[in-house]
Amino acid sequence: MSYTVIAEGIRKSFGAQVVLDGVDLALDRGSVFGLLGPNGAGKTTLVRILATLMRPDSGRATVAGHDLLTDPVGVKGAISLTGQYAAVDDVLTGRENLEMMAGLLHLGRRAARARAAELLAEFDLTDARDRRVRTYSGGMRRRLDLAASMIRRPELLFLDEPTTGLDPRSREQLWGTVRHLAAQDVTILLTTQYLEEADQLADTVGMLTAGRIVARGTPDELKSSLGTEIVRLRFPDARAYQSALAALAPSAGGTGFTIEAADDGALRIDIPTDGSSARLRDLLDLLVATGGSTAAGSPRVSTHRPSLDDVFLALTGTADTAGATPAPRSATRSELAR
């Protein structure tokens, strides 16, 4: 297996505030890694460190075969960065921006012009190419920033919240670009607040909280790590609903089921299970036995897996008190894959 990024024990503090407290990372070549974490978790800080913009206090990393600390120029030659805030010159026009960046990548004047035109078309900016970036909308600016990162195909592409402020169509378009690049062996480190985006794009997801990556795995592994699958029952009438509610109440005892949520108006009950068919059968048997399911009042059953949002909330819910309690233990791949 070849890695594009190997980082070990990255630490970074700002004054007394410890932002990164020993981050380890290994990104497979051509994979998409989704870095998630609440605001202020240190995602941007980690990206900036790996993109040579900031030095870690300690730790080491190899990016595309170059040592981050001793060969930053080699690293710069292999990466492209789209930071959290658009890094374009708003006095210049869109075309001038791209031609300038292409020039700085030593494409040569003619090639630079051609590449800029291609990218302007690809990112739907051709009509606005000769307008100053100052007059662009937030989404257009964002797209120009992305285009600037694609002038040449990097080995590693950093995308720090790339779709914040994009409309659904542009977002979809960017997702397509990301998939396309990943298929061409470009490794992508993506941070995002939209967990659906990580779910859609990322091969591996890491949750950064309290300075560490507290969980990592494929989105599926992380979801099953919660160990639950929600069974949702929707009752056709109040009588069946009430019988089920009574049968599942803790005072009924012995069934081992708990009610996560019940909605009197919608006649709906959510019950967490382990997702096995045996457990589901137990539940249905119980309903039949207690009158919660009759020929006339049979509930509709649906199961729903936890989303990454649920995982995110479960893992970061304690983030505020992380100072008082020990940081959550890292969930390893094998634990998650159980």
Partner 1 sequence: MSSLTYDIVDSRIMVGRCLRRSWRDPEAFFTALMLPIILMLLFVYVFGGALRDHGPYVDYVVPGLIVLCAGFGAGTTAVALATDLAGGIVDRFRSMPIRASAILLGQVAASLTRNLLATALVIGVGLGIGWRPTTSVWRWAGALGLIVLFILALSWLAAAVGLLAGGPEAANSFTFVLMFLPYVSTAFVPTDTMPSVLRGFAENQPFTPIIETMRGLWMGHTSTGASTAHEALIALAWTLGLLALSWPAATHLFRRTTTH
Q: Residues in the site for partner 1, rule: CB under 8 A?
A: 48, 51-55, 73, 76-77, 79-81, 83, 85-92, 96, 100-101, 103-106, 132, 148
Q: Could you tell me which residues are beta bridge partners of residue 85?
A: none
Cα(88)–Cα(145) distance, rounded to whole angstroms?
6
**Binds Mg ion by CB under 5 A, chosen from 84, 218, 298, 318:** 84
Contact between 102 and 150 under an 8 Å Cβ cutoff? The reply is no
**Binds ligand ATP by CB under 6 A, chosen from 1, 16, 39, 277:** 39
**Partner whose footprint covers residue 19, from partner 1, ligand ATP, Mg ion, none (CB < 5 to 8 Å by kind):** ligand ATP
Nearer to ligand ATP by Cβ, of 49 and 181: the residue is: 49
Q: Does 316 contact Mg ion by CB under 5 A?
A: no
Q: Does 83 contact ligand ATP by CB under 6 A?
A: no
Number of other CB atoms surrounding residue 304 within 10 Å: 11
CA distances from 294 to 122, 290, 299 (A): 58, 9, 9
Joined together, the tokens standing for residue 276 give 């096995």
Nearest CA to 35 out of 156, 181, 197, 224 is that of 197
User: Minimum distance between the CB of residue 55 and partner 1, rounded to whole angstroms?
Assistant: 6
Q: Could you tell me which residues are beta bridge partners of residue 12?
A: 20
Nearer to ligand ATP by Cβ, of 40 and 227: the residue is: 40
Number of other CB atoms surrounding residue 197 within 10 Å: 24
Which window, 43-51, 107-115, 238-246, 267-275, contacts ligand ATP (CB under 6 A)?
A: 43-51
Q: Where do runs of H (alpha helix) occur along 66-137?
A: 72-76, 94-104, 109-122
H or E stretch at 300: strand 300-304
Which window, 26-34, 38-46, 194-202, 323-331, contacts ligand ATP (CB under 6 A)?
A: 38-46
Nearer to ligand ATP by Cβ, of 54 and 288: the residue is: 54
Q: Does 44 contact Mg ion by CB under 5 A?
A: yes
Q: Does 294 contact Mg ion by CB under 5 A?
A: no
Which window, 82-90, 134-142, 214-222, 224-232, contacts Mg ion (CB under 5 A)?
A: 82-90
